[in-house]
Structure 1
Amino acid sequence: MASSSLALPSVSLRRSSISTRNLGFRNEISRISLKNLDRGGKVFMSVAVGSQATVIDDALFKDYKPSRAFLFPGQGAQAVGMGVEAKNVTAAAELYKRANDILGFDLLDVCINGPKEKLDSTVLSQPAIYVTSLAAVEVLRARDGGQAIIDSVNVTCGLSLGEYTALAFAGAFSFEDGLKLVKLRGEAMQDAADAAESAMVSIIGLDSEKVQQLCDAANQEVDEADKVQIANFLCPGNYAVSGGLKGIEAVEAKAKSFKARMTVRLAVAGAFHTSFMDPAVSRLEAALASTELRTPRIPVISNVDAQPHADPDTIKKILARQVTSPVQWETTVKTLLNKGVEKCYELGPGKVIAGIVKRMDKSADIENIGA
């Protein structure tokens, strides 16, 4: 399979002994051995290139200083009509064509024409958002000054599914390999959801402590199999709760007594980012194990711990855990803002992320770029 044609920026890893060439972006690695070294609990990757050996610290990006950030949306951002602009940009349209070979159907046609029910399904919405978000990068690149913006980006992240898009943009894996992972992720999450009655609901108007108290109250009334938990820390006043169907119904019934402004049942297959997704983990682990994954060219912030990682093996483990771990999006955005990020771009369908960033800092500079 041909590698991605996305012309990603070449970004230094801030160590004179490490370059994107030595990290295998041109397939020059002759041997890679992963070693867990006892250096303050950090994971290191030993890379041998010819007679030279380089050790990559997983905490390589720990002290990153963001100036411009690309943020990619997650499931729920999809909408019929997305991808229309990509039709008129050759490089963007090409991504959909390459996706068709992997998916086996005309993805752009579904994105533009629907039907909505088909586009909203977990198995289709995740690949659709992944491809459309990367197509938005190509739409930006085709604009005057677009390449300069792309080259200036020095940190990226994505909401849940969007983390895969961010890793693809950062060169951690090819467009095709990322799409294969996303396709499998959607299928595995759908199958896990089908195995048990579960759901997700957004709680609007409460802080995280109050939402946790609401979950605790609901859990006192249901069996272990229907327990609920905070699954998505979006932003102050907006947290998603996942769990068994009876537990979610209990949360909805009690929300007003906890002074919640409203609850919104999410149109997803089941209790994402909880133990309900355990059956998906082993499938993701197997797929990730056979996927070539490189150190990202720029920091990619993880949803699991809101930290960037450099070691490919560590990134794989975190991606497998991501479907059962709460999304730490609030911490991610807060960290970017606190570190002084100057400009953010939301690339892909919808404007959910822009809304979240503005809610956390009204003065934040964020621009949405669709496809």
Structure 2
Amino acid sequence: MKAFFVFSGQGAQTVGMGKDLAEAFPEAKALFDEADAVLGYEQSSIIFNGPAEKLTESRYCQPAIYTMSCAALAAFKTRYPDVTPVGCAGLSLGEYGALYAGGAFTFAEGLRLLAQRAELMDKACRATSGGMASVLGGDAEIIKEVCAACEIDVANFNSPGQIVISGEKVKLAKAVEELKARGMRKIIVLNVAGAFHSRLMKPAGEALEKVLEESPVAMPRIPVYHNFTAAPAADVAQLRANLAAQVAGSVRWEECVRNMVAAGGDTMIEFGPGNVLTGLLRRTLPEVRGLNVNSAETLRNIEL
């Protein structure tokens, strides 16, 4: 088996996520406790007890998903300490979990970085009126053409037949109507705080670039496939640049997955809440095995 590790993105959060992992694995609980100390507030209480409205806010949600995903990885390592992935990747904020798994920074260093990213994105959301929509079964070239004409952006290339678009709400609505006029009927307007991975996030990306310059980041020991390029960075400078550009750039998730499989990966293991990435894998490469570690029960049921 040649596994590749992937990490959940925003939207997968649920109140209570990871609580059973913290109760069953001291290694997982240690990360929840460390996160509380690093952030200066009881993040674990928000994760385990809610309220859901608070957990959904980007400034709480992004560090929470990172912590829960890293805790799931820590629990996994207690059962399978010898499994070394051939590559790692994460969806949007999940890229920070992938970089932690790859050894680019410590858990605390990644958490501090992500907390600042979340604050900057939250600020950008409040300063604009943005939204996102998922287009199902549409032609990628037509979607890109319509987005360009309506002055919005493609946020995510998730899998064959699933593309997310993002931008100002008025322009997004115009694009949705144009796509429907071109025969794309399955379009879901998403309940999100803003236009993530669009030009509206550019101020957040530029501010994050300055934060990254002063943050400890090393080249990972394991290849990490970046959202912005769908490939590992050549050096630390490019790694930092990728993380900054990712905030306003398209998430090339389908390419990331295909490239990790092309590099030899035959089993994808998803860490974090939910199973969104495993579902995307089934639509992209159904012949590749996909596993989840999102609870103590899923970990107990895994057979490698």
Q: Fold-level match, TM-score > 0.5?
A: yes
Is the deviation greater in 173-182 or in 309-318?
Answer: 309-318
- Partners of 1:67 and 1:261 in 2: how far apart? 39
Residue 238 of structure 1 corresponds to which residue in structure 2? 162
CA-to-partner distance for each residue in 1:296-348, whole Å, 9 max, x for gaps? 01100111111102411221122111101111111111222334421110011
Residue 47 of structure 2 corresponds to which residue in structure 1?
111
- The answer (yes or no) to whether the contact 1:82–1:112 under 8 Å persists in 2 is yes
Given that residues 199 and 271 in structure 1 are in contact (C-alpha distance below 8 angstroms), is that contact kept between their aligned partners in structure 2? yes
Matched ranges for 1:3-18 at <5 A: none
Q: Does the alignment pair 1:198 with 2:130? A: yes
* 1:91 corresponds to: 27
Q: Is the 8 A contact 1:166 1:300 kept in 2?
A: yes
Q: Does 1:303 align with 2:227?
A: yes
Separation in structure 1 between the aligned mates of residue 260 and residue 30 of structure 2, nearest angstrom: 32
Distance in 2, matches of 1:322 and 1:213, equals 21
Contact 2:65/2:272 (<8 A) preserved: yes
Q: CA deviation at 1:204?
A: 1.1
* Whole-angstrom CA distance in 1 between matches of 2:221 and 2:110: 16
Q: 2:10 is matched with which residue: 71, 75, 90?
A: 75
Where does 1:242-261 land on structure 2 (aligned, <5 Å)? 242-261=166-185
Aligned residue number for residue 185 of structure 1:
117
CA distance in 2, matches of 1:235, 1:293: 30
1:359 to 262, 283, 301: 283
For the 8 Å contact 2:268–2:290, the answer to whether it is kept is yes
For 1:73, the aligned partner's letter is S
Q: 2:52 aligned with 1:120, yes or no?
A: no
Matches of 2:193 and 2:167, distance apart in 1: 12
* Distance (whole Å) between structure 2 residues aligned to residue 295 and residue 339 of structure 1: 19
Letter of the 1:287 counterpart: V
- Seen in structure 2, the aligned counterparts of structure 1 residues 170 and 307 have a Cα distance that, compared at 3 Å, is same
Task: Judge which range, 201-210 or 246-255, deviates more.
Answer: 246-255
Answer yes or no: is the 8 Å Cα contact 1:207–1:236 preserved in 2.
no
**Is the Cα–Cα contact under 8 Å of residues 255 and 262 in structure 1 kept in the other structure?**
no
Q: Residues 53-104 of structure 1, C-alpha deviation per residue, up to 9 Å, x if partnerless?
A: xxxxxxxxxxxxx932000111111112211222221111111111112222
Encode CA deviations 1:137-190: one digit per residue, 9 max, x unaligned: 1121233xx1122xx212101111111111111111111111011001011001
Indicate conservation of the 8 Å contact 1:296/1:310, yes or no: no
Cα contact 2:87–2:265 (8 A) shared by 1? no
1:249: Cα distance to partner? 1.2
Residue 301 of structure 1 aligns with an amino acid whose one-letter code is Y
Moved more, 108-117 or 254-263: 254-263
Q: Does 1:266 align with 2:190?
A: yes
Query: How many residues are treated as equivalent by the alignment?
Result: 294
Tell me, which stretches of 5 or more residues in structure 2 are unaligned?
A: 296-304
Letter of the 1:175 partner, please give it: F
User: TM-score, length-normalised on structure 2?
Assistant: 0.92
Q: Kindly provide the CA deviation profile for residues 23-66 of structure 1, in whole angstroms up to 9, marking residues without a partner as x.
A: xxxxxxxxxxxxxxxxxxxxxxxxxxxxxxxxxxxxxxxxxxx9
Deviation at 1:266, TM superposition (A): 2.1
**Aligned counterpart, 1:279:** 203
Counterpart in 1 of 2:270?
346
Mapped to 1, the partners of 2:263 and 2:202 lie a distance apart of 34
Match of 1:42 in 2: none
Q: Which has the higher strand share?
A: 1
The 3-state SS of whatever aligns with 2:82 is helix
CA contact (8 A) 1:119 1:125 kept: yes
Query: Which amino acid in the other structure matches residue 268 of structure 1?
Result: V
Q: Which residue of 2 aligns with 1:210?
A: 142
Q: Tell whether the 8 Å contact from 1:129 to 1:349 is kept in structure 2 after alignment.
A: yes
| Contact persistence 1:185–1:280 (CA under 8 A) | yes
Identity of aligned residues (%): 37
Quote how far apart the aligned CAs of 1:134 are. Answer: 0.3
Distance (Å, rounded) in 1 between the aligned partners of 2:212 and 2:147 = 33
Counterpart secondary structure, 2:55:
helix
8 Å CA contact retained: 1:83, 1:108: no
Give the 3-state SS of the residue equivalent to 1:142 in structure 2. Answer: helix
